[in-house]
Amino acid sequence: MIRVKLKAWTASFRFPTFQSGYQPTLPVPPPSTIQGILSAAKGEPVYLTELPYLGYVFKSEGIGIDLERIYALGKVETDIVRREFHYNAELYLYLPDEWEEVFRKPRYQLLMGRSSDIATVEEIRKVNLEEKEAVLGGTVVPVELGIPGIVHALVVEFDYTSTPRRARLVKPFIILPYPRTWAERKRQTAKVFYDPDLEIGVYLHRWSK
């Protein structure tokens, strides 16, 4: 297994229930954003349900609010909306070994959300994860894992064979922010894989089953 570390000055992940007005960001990227990053790196659509496993951990130094001018459809005047974004963001991807060459030379720009959230590959290394009780965070986990948290229906992957793209798989997830307090660390503990370098649990999704 390899771990790919991506870094970006900013990152933003659209809240699925907010369509207009104030634009909050999800605390962590949804699986569909990971699909977009893998597809950009490989240069062709990648479907997460075809991967044997996938894990990821996201963290940032905080959240800021940007002011953005928008043009409303059918109107001449502009408007201002407030949009949340993460700053100094890091994303760790846990993937099969064959993805190492893909991330050595990504085909297209890697984005942590919008087109302005450009990410770079900071490190690729082989890792060995051990299974144990560990603190999870900076990721999404299935509801069946039994960890309390915010539940959202998120797109796992889009079907890129049609225009416009359509959601191919949607599932409910518990969203787990990167743990920063004792209470979060206690609440977000489960028997999963553990990354001793980052001292964080890693949930490996296996949608191929």
Coil, strand or helix: which one is 38? Answer: helix
Please count the CA atoms within 13 angstroms of the CA of 159 that sit on its side-chain side. Answer: 9
Query: Which one-letter DSSP state was computed for residue 184?
Result: H
Angle made by CA atoms 74, 78, 80, in degrees to the nearest 5: 130
Domain with 109 in it: 2-205
**pLDDT tens digit string along 56-108?**
999 999 999 999 888 877 777 788 889 999 999 999 999 999 999 999 999 99
Instruction: Provide the domain count of the chain.
Output: 1
Instruction: Please give the sequence-ordered ranges of beta strands (E in DSSP) within 62-209, or none if there are none.
Output: 62-71, 78-95, 110-111, 118-126, 130-135, 139-142, 150-159, 166-176, 189-195, 200-202
**pLDDT tens digit string along 17-61?**
766 678 899 999 999 999 999 999 999 999 999 999 999 999 999
Residue 107 sits in a domain of what CATH number?
A: 3.30.70
